[in-house]
Each structure stands twice: as structure tokens, then as C-alpha cells.
Amino acid sequence: MTSRRRAAGITAALTCGVAVIAGFAGPAAAAAPASDGGEGDLADKSAQQISDESLRQLLTAQSLRLRTETSADPTKLDLTLDRAGNCTGSVSKGEFGRVDLVKRGEQVWMKPDAAFWKTQFPGRKGDDAAQRYKDTYLHGTTKNAFLRGVTAACDLKAFQKSATGSGKPSSGTPSPSRSAPLTKGRPTTEDGARVLPVVKKAHGAVQTLYVAIDGKHYPRKLTAEVDHETGTILLSDYDTPVSTKTPAPGETADISALEDLMKGSQGA
């Protein structure tokens, strides 16, 4: 896998399952009969109203933790990000390696693991790079195309806009493409929080949105199943500030080190 393909894969990971959230937007429906059953103040709301409320709450979040995975691709995200474009966390590509990320404004630090180096540069060169840059962050700015691609998932504003389609909750106008009815599931728990599933079934796909019952009704988990493939997004730590800690100068190397290795490989 080339570096450009890797960057594209990391960028694409942001959209893993985002359509699951957008697919729940739709026209307002009549409220369901009141019957708590463990649903709290969501008991007298319809599945569509619960979905719309969770999307409104998502749009108010100033920061959150995002975790994604899908059975169709080894890419996994675990990032805490905010609306200012700051983030910390990691992107994993399974056997192709993992990269730890820190982004503050335009400044970016990425720490690849040994598998990353050995995948990027097979043979002795990869082994040497893995040893030389062990526990080292490569530092640069978003003016660098590679770092810009790797950190594309750090934009919470973009995620919120993509997750809710237009970036706004339902207007109440029916949409033929979103006419599949939503249904409530039974209350359950997710990461220790009580949640209420909202289920949508259409064209052989099953999408489930898990909405927090207590406090603000944030979306906490989203799943999609289609053609025997699954995708999951976990959302947590709403409005918890992104850490401001950045790697010390002694733990970093300039991003040009990676660029030099890439040029050397292309010329080999």
C-alpha cells in the first residue's frame, strides 16, 4: 500500500457509518402514547422525534470522542476532536499499522508504529526506519499534503454536517428518500449509559441509532448491517476538552524524514 493510498484510507474512515446518522433524519411524526418502561422522558416521543432530538444535540457538541470500525475494512478510528479542528487519538489499519495523532490548530504530530514503517518500506529500509523512529512523533503542519489527509478526520464541524445531512435537523417536510419508518427498541446500556435504540429497516439494510435516555439525548452508538457487512460508530465524552498536551521537542522529528524516505523508495 502506497502512502497516498494509506492517507486516502484514513480520510475515508471518517465517513464510516456517517450515513447511518443522516439516514435517520426525516419528517416529524405523531408522539407515541406515554408509557415510560425505562425510557424516561423519551417515553411519550415517537422514534422519529427521538432521532431528530439526538441529531440536534449532536450539533450542539463542542467536542466528543469518535470511535469507528467496519467489517469491510481494517481501518479503525479512536479520536477525541473539537470544533476548532484539534484532536488526539489514533488511526489503525490493522496489519498495515497504527498511527497516533496530535493536532493543535495547523500543527500536527504523528507517531507511526513499527508495522506502519515496515508496510510503507518493505525490507531492510522498513526495519531501519522502524528502529530509528521508534516512539518518535513526526511533526509538520497541515500545509503538508500527507498530514492534511491523515488529520482530515479531526474536523468535528465537518463530521456534524455530514452526520446530519444538511447540518440541520429535520424541517418537517416529507422526503421520499427518507420515508422508511423508524421504530423503537427496548432500553439497554452502552458504555454504562442507558440508551434507547431507534431502528430503521430499508432495502435489506438495518440501521440502529442508540440515544441516551438520561440527561441530554445525545447519539451514543450507531450501527449498520447490509449484505453481511457491519459498521459501528461510538460517540462519547461529549464536551470534554481535547487535551492541549503536545509531544516534547526531544520526542519529535520533522515530517521531511518521511518525505525523504518516500522519495528514496520511489527512486529505488
CATH class of this structure's domain 3-244+252-263: mainly beta
> What pLDDT is attached to residue 157?
93
> What pLDDT is attached to residue 56?
95
Residue 45 has pLDDT above 70, yes or no: yes
Query: Which DSSP string do the residues of 77-134 spell out, in sequence order?
Result: EEEEEETTS-EEEEEE-GGG-EEEEEEETTEEEEEE-HHHHHHHSTTHHHHHHHHHTT
Phi and psi angles of residue 153, each rounded to the nearest 5 degrees, phi first: -75, -5
Mean per-residue pLDDT over the chain, rounded: 83
Instruction: Summarize the confidence of residues 169-179 as an average pLDDT.
Output: 42
Residue 18 has pLDDT above 90, yes or no: no
| Better-predicted residue by pLDDT, 6 or 20 | 20
Residue 169 has pLDDT above 60, yes or no: no
| Better-predicted residue by pLDDT, 155 or 25 | 155
> What pLDDT is attached to residue 165?
67
Q: Is the pTM of this model over 0.85?
A: no
pLDDT range class, residue 78, cuts 50, 70, 90: very high
Residue 134 has pLDDT above 70, yes or no: yes
Contacts of residue 28, defined as CB under 8 A and 6 or more positions apart, other chains included, come to 48, 49, 52, 170, 172
Q: 202-254, pLDDT tens digit by residue? A: 888 999 999 999 999 999 999 999 988 999 999 999 999 999 999 999 999 99
pLDDT range class, residue 127, cuts 50, 70, 90: very high
Contacts of residue 208, defined as CB under 8 A and 6 or more positions apart, other chains included, come to 185, 197, 198, 199, 200, 221, 222, 223, 224
Contacts of residue 71, defined as CB under 8 A and 6 or more positions apart, other chains included, come to 229, 230, 231
| Better-predicted residue by pLDDT, 28 or 220 | 220
Q: For the chain, give every domain's residue range.
A: 3-244+252-263
Furthest C-alpha separation in the chain: 70
Q: 96-106, pLDDT tens digit by residue? A: 999 999 999 99
